[in-house]
Structure 1
Amino acid sequence: MFKKKLLRFAIVSLLIVVLAAVMVLWSSRVTLNQIGQMNTANALLNEHLQLSSTSYRLFKQLTDEILFGQFANQSAVRNKRAIIAESLGKIRLLEIQQREALGIEFTAGSIEDTDALEALIDSIIADFEQIVENSDPVDYDDRIRFILEERIDIGFREAINAAVTRQQNVVDALNSRIDGIHVIILWTAISLAILAIVITLAGVSSLLRAVERTREELEYQVAQRTAELTSANTALERSDSIRRNFLADISHELRTPLTIIRGEAQVALRREQRDHEEYRTALRCVLEQSVALSRLVDDLLFIARADSNSLRLNRQPVDVVRLLHSVVEDTRALSEHHQIQIECAEDSVASAVIDAERIRQLLVILIENAIRYSPANTQIILRAKISEADLIIVVEDFGYGIEANELPFIFERFYRGAQTSKHEQGMGLGLAVAKAIATAHGGRLTASSTVGEGTQMTVVLPRELQREMA
């Protein structure tokens, strides 16, 4: 088994080495060919520059002879013309080689323009010779000016510049091609290196996997058992933490009303004679605290049942709009006492299969919270709408708002925000109960708020529990 894997690994490695060698040979050959073409292009540039320099010296010598009456050295003229002819011959030969190597696309017009350049040089020399032979003073200056300006400064210079520019373009194209080849070689080398690394790692991994399979299996079993024990320990720690926090919170919440009840009873019994109104006041205080205790116990029992998934809901088809209006009526006395107006705005008429009493309890909690943390002469809007998948009920107020750092914690049990100390004291269970009701219905309760502008509580119930009414 190991021999077969080693043999396969060796064969693949050998193929990679062979492929790398082929790439090196190919890149070397292509690079040498491109370097040769670069040398040809540079040689053509040099020959064109040599041709330009020699031609200008010849033209100057012929011009001096005409303008200053200095007889040209015919031997020097013949020498320059021979050099020009030699340069043109070299240029033709190099251009033919270049065209055969690069094709007409790269060398279009080169050979043809060289023929035209030779004809231009010959015609300029012939014009000088004609002026020398026929020195008619009538148009003597115009003819010289025409040769110097039109034939040499414009025609000859443009022809030389065009040839030089064409060869420069060839050089640029060759440089671009070489750069492209270098990029191909670079990425090919990188790819081969990556492939070699991957194959090496895969081969080593394959060889080691067979050896370590048993150890990995044992480690997996140990890790699985450790994870189970860790999870169980975490669950126990969390349960213990929840228990301790619950006992601390409930002890705190129970102590105050019990202390008040005990205090009122002790005061009522301590004095032998008290009038009827004093007893009524004491009993009224005891009743209020007993009601608060009863509500606290009910909320705790509800949350406990929700945590244990033993909460039972009496789901029935309910007219949502009618339910919203009844909630508004239930909270009207409290809202009028605080001089706050509640408006019910339904975007659509719908029924929902829900526990009406529990949803009523949820909405009353949200509205009472909104009243508690809103200034007088403001408004609370209660509205319901149907989306594609959900029934959405929104309670929006324009009160003091909730700080951004408090929003993540407002649904936790016994949590009281910074505004609590400024307004009516709550037990910190209302929003926890409201969220538990929404969760029990398979929905969710979320909050968004801007300090100084108000708060929006959104109840979302799954669409499959609702159906639209006609």
Structure 2
Amino acid sequence: MFRFRLAVAIVVSFCFVLLLGFALYWGSNQVARHFQRSQMAYEAFDRYERLSQEAYRHFKQRMDRLITASPAAEAGVESSKHRLYEAMQELRNTAVKTPIAESHTEDWQDKPAELERVAHFTAFLDSSEYRFDEVERLRQQGKNEMAVQALSKFSEEEIDGKFQPLIDAAINAEREKAGQAKQELEDLVAQSRWIAILASLTAAIFSLTSGALLLRGVRKPIEALMKGTDEIASGNLDYRISLDTRDEFAYLASHFNQMAQELGLQQNKLREGRVVLEKRVAERTFELHQLNEELKRMDNERREFLADISHELRTPITVIRGEAEVTLRGQDREAEEYKDALHRIVELAMQLGKYVNDLLFLARTETANLQFEWDSVDLAELVAGAVENFQVMAEENSISVSLDAPTEPVWVRGDKQRLRQVLFILGDNACRYSTPGGHIAVALRVDGEMASFSLTDQGIGIPAQDLERIFDRHFRSRNALASRDDGKGLGLPMAKSILKAHGGSIKVTSIENSGSTFTVTLPLISIEQDSKQINEK
């Protein structure tokens, strides 16, 4: 619709331009034609003037020759006659040979009158030559008076009465034609000026009117489109352009709304993709966090593993060193005593081998992850051997060790090396935290279906507020930290884990600065299992 209105305005404007151009072209042609007519009239006027001058000059020469009869006058007559006939021939040629295409209708209508005038001039000149010849014959015959009378009569009647009015009429006619052409030229210029003014005013009025109508038709759609672009640019993709027209702007607005809708859909997809991406990033971040925590846990386990190594290897090495030193200090010992000492050293070396092979399990706190070599163990024999090792460790601080245990075997099911590890942990702690010259009392009892092992020292004791935490990994009571700085707080948690795997338990009672008592309970083997074990022995 808008394109049609614009096309109409362009076509009409083009028609105005063509009309104005045609008017200017027609006016220029008319001006050129009238100017040509005026020029032709003035040229004809000049030719008639020349004809008049040459005619009077010739007439004067003929009269002078008739009067004076001198040879010079004869030469002037011939010369003037030649010029007169040239002027007459030029006038005749111009009148006869004027192209029709170059002549206006009115000029062509005047052409017969001009030809008639030319014919009259020709006839007059011919008759004047005849009359002059008649006068010349009269003069030659000696009839001078008659020749003068005839010449005077010819001058008055023919030259003044006929030729002069004829030439005056021709000159006046040409002058009138030149004036008429000039007036028509001036009228045409004025007419062309008004035509140009009217055409310009009409074109200007049409241009202003059509421009105003087109501007009025496009202002509202353009404002709506500009507002829509501003809304879209500001991020309001829900905005829609509403136009009630049926032109190109409505088509553009519909496509603009479709574009905004597609942009909104794309933005929603991008938002959903960003949410999914953020979710995946969060998941990957959580996984990385878990991996990081796992690495931290593994690093902590590595540290604990190294701490367990130092802690667990220290006690057997100390006992082995003590056994070797005690044996070397003895001067008069029997071979059986050396054999017993070496046997204990071998057992402690096997204990160290067990530690080296099972160091991985020492780094784990969950009993379900520990591996054991289950067998029937004589707890009385195990405790008695451990007490002998305690005595070696206690000699450094002049600490005495006593054992109260039944003489018959006390059978439990467990891992001998790990149970010895529990005894070493308790004995090592008692020796380290007991005051010099103190005493460590070890007792083994059987109470129903449970075996009970207790170890009482006369050491620094445990503060009441720390009793519930001493089995936590890496925890040490405040007085233990003040007494020794080489502990890691790993032994008691490990002993508790081992006993838990055996179905037993460990408890502690303590008085600060008086000593502590650790009590270990383990389930006994049933009577059938006990009898079978005795028979095997």
- Tell me the TM-score normalised to structure 2 length: 0.33
Q: Which structure's CA Rg is the greater one?
A: 2
What's the TM-score once normalised by structure 1's chain length? 0.37
